[in-house]
Amino acid sequence: MRLRDLPSVDELARQSEDPLAVEAARTVVARAREQIQQGDDPGDLRLHLQAELDAARAPRLRRVLNATGVIVHTNLGRAPLAEAALDRVREIARGYSNLEYDVAAGGRGSRQDHVAGLLRRLTGAEAALVVNNNAAAVMLALAALAEGREVLVSRGELIEIGDGFRIPDVLERSGATLREVGTTNRTRAADYETAIGAETAVLLRVHQSNFRLVGFTAQPSRRELADVAHRHDLPLVDDLGSGALVDVGDEPTARASLAGGADLVCFSGDKLLGGPQAGIVVGRADLVEQLRRHPLQRALRADKLTLAALEGTLALALEAPDQIPVVRMLREPLEAVRARAVRLAELVGGEVEETVARAGGGALPLTALPSFACAVEEELAAKLRAGDPPVIAVVRDGRTLLDCRTLTDAEADEAAAAVERARR
Ligand SMILES: *Cc1c(COP(=O)(O)O)cnc(C)c1O
């Protein structure tokens, strides 16, 4: 085809009744022009137009297969939900619910009541509150308890959590002033003690989620910090980041934090807990009530789909934690992961390779989870991403590694089919 044989955008668009046809034809003609200029044949433009229209209608937010070995992968949507949690979402979302209705009394109820009981049982807390995410939870805690006053936090805990978001920048938006104590590597209980003044409203502890300080370091224990706070009649707020409800590695649990003296504990719903995106606050009833009554609570509250998924996940955390996908992936015996990698390698003619999986989500940064992958040709990585569903893998030493700790058995079969298609 020569440039002057190219149809105009309108001519090509007339081949279709589709209201999106002009937009799609513009893309197709522009691409064809480039191809001709590079000496390539653009092919059948009518077929390209149809493909463009199909692509425009396909959902943009799509399911992918996570073959990276990073379990709580923030870019890939963090925690896959358990079946039981999905059932709860479907049931609540498809019709009306008692979200804010007290069925027994026949009047207004609170959306916070549905998961509060489970959270109390799981953590031993007096009260609980759920908002949109953990960043919102910490911001709300500081807004409600320290607006216009000071919050003491260790220099070693002013962290960046990813994509350039820094905890101190988020927290300043609460209207509280952060006052840094100690040094980057060493902070002592006495540093907080001397910094406490008339303006101090809260002592904040931020879990060093995604990094660890090693060498010449010191941080007061939670108990020491709680003792300092309580001697001055101040609350200790503990941002656990991921937090955990069931024991996984050395990640602190919300229960241990409360038992260690924290007055409020904030953590994420979709990190190691393995539920939906949410920010959970548990702790002293009078403080939780102050958060609940703060105007920002209305802007940051969790929606009913989140609450339904969270209730389903929390019920499993109590009764059958291994049915939560994140917990299952973290705890799966190495032999079972290896068996999956062997099967995948047999299906695609790949090689079984030892790898290291990660918890991800800024949790357990030092914990290397032994894992196994199926290694295939390096050039397949981009084609696997372009497939349907896209398969996201890791390229290392000239090969594409499909880590089997983050694939289910059924997903490993899908990955095998994807490799076959990518090779064609
Ligand atoms: C991840 C993290 C947050 C933010 O939690 P989101 O649920 O992503 O909003 C806050 N603090 C710490 C310490 C974290 O690790």
Average of per-residue pLDDT across 315-319: 97
Which atom of ligand 1 lies closest to the CA of 361?
A: 1
- Angle subtended at Cα 342 by Cα 336 and Cα 346, rounded to the nearest 5 degrees: 150
Which residue's CA is the closest to the ligand 1 atom numbered 14? Answer: 241
Asked if the model's pLDDT at residue 365 lies above 80, the reply is no
Does the beta carbon of 275 sit less than 6 angstroms from any atom of ligand 1?
no
- pTM for the model stands at 0.92
Distance in Å, CA 294 to ligand 1 centroid: 21
Tell me the average pLDDT across 359-371: 81
**pLDDT at position 209:** 63
In the predicted model, is pLDDT for residue 250 greater than 90?
no
Average pLDDT, rounded, for the chain? 94
Is residue 389 a contact partner of residue 413, using CB atoms and an 8 Å limit?
Answer: no
Is residue 207 within 6 Å of ligand 1 at its C-beta? Answer: yes
Question: Cβ-count burial of 119 within 10 angstroms (0-12 exposed, 13-18 middle, 19+ buried)?
Answer: buried
Q: Find out whether the peptide bond into 389 is cis, omega within 30 degrees of 0.
A: yes
Write down the pLDDT at residue 160: 74
The pLDDT of residue 170 is above 90 = no
Q: How confident is the model at residue 176 (pLDDT cuts 50, 70, 90)?
A: very high
Q: Is the C-beta atom of 279 inside 6 A of ligand 1?
A: yes
What pLDDT is attached to residue 147? 96
Does ligand 1 have an atom closer than 6 angstroms to the CB of 134?
yes
> What whole-number percentage of the chain has pLDDT above 90?
83
Instruction: Place 211 in a pLDDT band, splitting at 50, 70 and 90.
Output: low
60 backbone dihedrals φ, ψ, rounded to 5°: -85, -40
Structure tokens at 415: 């990955």
Q: How confident is the model over 58-99, as pLDDT tens digits? A: 999 999 999 999 999 999 999 999 999 999 999 999 999 999
Give the model's pLDDT for residue 366: 65
How much is the pLDDT for 201?
98
In this structure, the residue with its CA closest to atom 7 of ligand 1 is 134
Q: Is the pLDDT of residue 343 over 80?
A: yes
What integer is the mean pLDDT of 327-341?
Answer: 97
162 C-alpha to ligand 1 centroid (Å) = 9
Q: Is the pLDDT of residue 163 over 80?
A: no
- 78 — alpha (psi -120 to 50), left (phi > 0) or beta? left
3-state secondary structure of 143: helix
CA of 137 to the centre of ligand 1 (A): 9
Quick one: pLDDT at residue 99? 98
What gap in Å lies between CA 327 and CA 333, rounded to an integer? Answer: 12
CA distance 373 to 67: 8
Predicted pLDDT of residue 255: 96
